[in-house]
Amino acid sequence: MKLNFDVYKDQVYACWVGKNIGGTMGAPYEGRRDVLDIKGFASKAGEPLPNDDLDLQLIWLHAMETVGPYDLDCKKLGEFWVSYISPHWNEYGMGKMNMKRGLLPPLSGDYENTWKDSNGAWIRTEIFATMAPGCPEIAAKYAIEDAMVDHGAGEGTFAAAFVAAMQAAAFIEKDIRKCIDIALSLLPERSRMCSTIAKILECYDNGVSWLDCRNTVQQMNADIGDGWFEAPSNVGYAVLGLIYGEGDFKKSMITAINCGDDTDCTGATVGATLGILGGTAVIPTDWQAFIGDGIITMSIAEGILRNLPTSCTTLTERVVNMAPTVLWANRAKVTIVHGDEDEIEIPGHTATSRNYTPQSPILRRLEALKPYQFEVNAGLYAVRVTYDRAPDIAPGEELGVTLSFIHSASYHARNTNAFGNLPYTLNLRWWLPEGFTVEGKRTVVLEHNTSHHREPQKDVHVIVKAGERVEAINRVVLEVTADGRPTTCYVPLQLLG
């Protein structure tokens, strides 16, 4: 697959302009729970309003440029959160607080976080979509890693995967319904995100008005939190705008914002998605002139990070410079070229089929997400830690933990054999607070990838028991060594007293 560079760059620029238009138009109404009747902007002309939806993506640009795309995961992104992102509202604050207590992502997004089904992640997906044009699963992969920091295994993570995939598909698929279908195919059917998007498509196909559709969506998700500011409905409102707007930029955005609730986020996502879909040709010139080219931030600790883009133009330049590296790192079948644009389609996805495929790494990844879980990658293998419940412990109390040792040949379905497809004998040693004990196996045989074991993994269940004295933070450390190999892996299991 080949993408014409000039067309691609125009789509990226239109994405950021559309993001700024929607965020600026919707911001004055954020949090309004009633149906709105806006006609356009309510802010002063000449510049956009600041919006964390775009701010945070500047940090992810910095992460891609400095750490690189090869192994950018939730733990590394978590460090960027603590270093550079200043707000503490809702899930942002809970995720950062949990990381500061030593809880690794995605556990940081699950523990005592009533906002894990909220909107903080799907609003910041464009950076991954624009760096993985035409590659929905690659964009979704990074969006999941990002979302898990402050949403764990919640609906917020499913929402981020959906929006990133939809936007990445929009670079090569010009029918928004097909883009939605492609993204929907990556969601587990059990997720509320999946049922919400399916309901919106059903309403549209059956001639239900946008207003009745909006009310249906709000009511079907009223049990999440207090029924507002949550991801399934608000992503739903953005999709509603895209579907009922029928390709008209202004109609689509105003319809989404008029649904109310997290209006800056819904408007911004509609604008960014349509910008990708049609490039600058679809951006209304009067609206573009109203907000200009600038980026105004509000959520970044700029005193220690000073080289971020300050305009949509400079952001676009840095994204298009980074994209070939991201595509190469992920072995993408998309190449950005100078010259005539080829006709492109995404094999295996159609507008009429939801096309769930067990082979999809993203679908499998989302299906496997569980609360109170995190992973440490040791190269030869990964160790996935799953607590039986929240990682709280009292004196004399027990807590069960499942340790999943996953061979690098099957880790995240990447079929990575960088170190050779070999079996390993793993030795487990525990470093414990005074009085703590661990009951369970001390040796694990991890078989390699063969016709008998296509996805080699070994699960071990252990019981951690606290002593008579428990501190506020109790660090239990698992040391893992493989016979005949030089690398030692340390896995920190934080238990909170």
**pLDDT of amino acid 360:** 84
For residue range 129-145, list pLDDT tens digits in order. Answer: 999 999 999 999 999 99
Contact 283, 21 (CB under 8 A): yes
What pLDDT is attached to residue 448?
Answer: 84
Strand bridging mode 335-337 / 2-4:
parallel
In the predicted structure, residue 346 carries a pLDDT above the cut 50? no
pLDDT reported for residue 356: 38
Beta bridge partners of residue 403, listed in sequence order = 385, 460
Among residues 483, 368, 466, the alpha carbon closest in space to that of 423 is found at 483
d(CA 307, CA 371): 36
User: Dihedral of CA 312/313/318/320: which sign?
Assistant: positive
Q: Based on the number of CB atoms within 10 Å of its own CB, is 118 exposed (0-12), middle (13-18) or buried (19 or more)?
A: buried
Write down the pLDDT at residue 340.
65
pLDDT at 418: 78
Return d(Cα 211, Cα 314) in angstroms, integer. 39
192-205 and 210-220 are packed helices; what angle lies between their axes, rounded to 10 degrees?
Answer: 160
110-120: per-residue pLDDT in tens?
A: 999 999 999 99
Give residues with Cβ within 8 angstroms of 308, minimum separation 6.
58, 59, 61, 62, 297, 300, 302
Residues 200-231 have pLDDT tens digits of: 999 999 999 999 999 999 999 999 989 899 99
Q: What percent of the chain has pLDDT over 70?
A: 94
Band (pLDDT 50/70/90 cuts) for residue 161 is very high
Please say whether the beta carbons of 290 and 17 come within 8 A.
no
Contacts of 96 (CB under 8 A, 6+ apart): 81, 82, 85, 88, 108, 150
Q: What is the pLDDT of residues 34-71, one digit of tens each?
A: 999 999 999 999 999 999 999 999 999 999 999 999 98
DSSP conformational letter for 50:
P
Q: Which tokens hold the place of 305?
A: 């990070």
Q: Which residue has the higher pLDDT, 250 or 350?
A: 250
Amino acid at 272: A
The residues of the chain that CATH labels 2.60.40.10 are: 372-496
Q: Is the pLDDT of residue 29 over 50?
A: yes
- Of 239-243, 299-303, 339-343, the poorest mean pLDDT is in 339-343
Q: Among 204-208, 341-345, 435-439, which stretch is predicted with the lowest mean pLDDT?
A: 341-345
pTM summary value: 0.94
CB 244 within 8 A of CB 217: no
Question: Hey, what are 267's tokens?
Answer: 């408007």
Residue type, 13: Y
Category of 324 on φ-ψ map: left (φ > 0), alpha (ψ -120 to 50) or beta: alpha
CA–CA gap between residue 66 and residue 79 (Å, rounded)? 13
pLDDT for position 475: 97
Q: Which fold has domain 2-337?
A: ADP-ribosylglycohydrolase fold (1.10.4080)
For all residues of the chain together, what is the average pLDDT?
Answer: 93
**Structure tokens that stand for 107 in this block:** 């556990």
Contacts of residues 349-356 at CB distance under 8 Å and 24 or more positions apart, as own/partner, are: 349/169, 349/178, 349/181, 349/182, 349/185, 350/178, 350/181, 351/175, 351/177, 351/178, 351/181, 352/181, 353/181, 353/185, 354/181, 354/184, 354/185, 354/198, 355/181, 355/185, 356/185, 356/189
pLDDT value of residue 450:
74
Q: Which two tokens stand for residue 172?
A: 């090569």
User: pLDDT value at position 421?
Assistant: 84
Whether residue 16 contacts residue 312, with contact meaning beta carbons closer than 8 Å, is answered with: yes
Helix or strand (DSSP H, E) at 184? helix 176-184
Quote the pLDDT of residue 209.
Answer: 99
* Cα–Cα distance measured from residue 451 to residue 244, given in angstroms and rounded to the nearest whole number: 49
Instruction: Give the pairing type, strands 424-431 and 443-446.
Output: antiparallel
CATH superfamily to which 372-496 belongs: Immunoglobulins (2.60.40.10)
Residue 289's pLDDT is: 98
Contact 165, 239 (CB under 8 A): no
Give residue-wise pLDDT tens across range 377-400: 999 999 999 999 999 999 999 999
pLDDT of residue 453: 66
Residue 358 above 70 pLDDT? Answer: no
Reported as a pLDDT band with limits 50, 70 and 90, residue 341 is low
How far apart, in whole angstroms, are the C-alpha atoms of residue 45 and residue 406? 55
Location of each CATH 1.10.4080.10 domain in the chain: 2-337
> What is the rounded average pLDDT of the residues 292-320?
93
Q: What is the pLDDT of residue 342?
A: 52
